[in-house]
Amino acid sequence: MQNISLISYGYFDKALLDRIAENISQEFQSQVELREGHLDLSLYYDPGRRQYNGTRLLEVVDKLPLESSYKILALFNVDLFIPILTYIFGQAYLGGKSGIVSSYRLRNELYGLKQDDKLLAGRIIKVCLHELGHMHGLVHCSQPQCIMRSSTYVEDIDLKERYFCGECNAKLCE
């Protein structure tokens, strides 16, 4: 069985990381190796946007050695952008080995709402599965509840299920 490395850059609760790993393991039938990463994030900060460049962070993650893993997913707590979008929840190379996810815009507190750790965990898991779907070659899906449906707003993530639709699942199994 091949491993997926889940690398946390910044503080994430151990119980949350275990829950993310369990969901990834179940969905992709892979072992998930939890690792801690260290990176000077100031190198990726854009003061004009007051955000971190997701494209550049993804490039760094993509250069990490795979060791015993065939995919690497990095978790961040900072606000990410790519030049053509105001912000992103995550990003991955289509059919590639690496992806990134940020919890920053998934937190209720950012929107003036009460903290909800259960909802946050569900959102992070959905974004992780979505980005891993891209890493396994899946493009965005038109099925409203499929995990591969594009999400522009956090509410879009809430409306999706935590699973791949039948068509996307069939493509994954190929």
Which residues are identified as catalytic?
131
To the nearest 10°, report the CA torsion of 165, 72, 49, 89: 20
Q: What are the φ/ψ torsions at residue 101 (nearest 5 degrees)?
A: -140, 140
Q: Is residue 40 left, alpha or beta, with left meaning phi > 0 and alpha meaning psi from -120 to 50?
A: beta
Tokens of 98: 């690496």
The DSSP string of 14-27 is: HHHHHHHHHHHHHH
Q: In a 3-state reduction of DSSP, which class is residue 83?
A: coil
The secondary structure element, H or E, covering residue 6 is: strand 3-9
In sign, the C-alpha dihedral spanning 72, 78, 83, 88 is positive
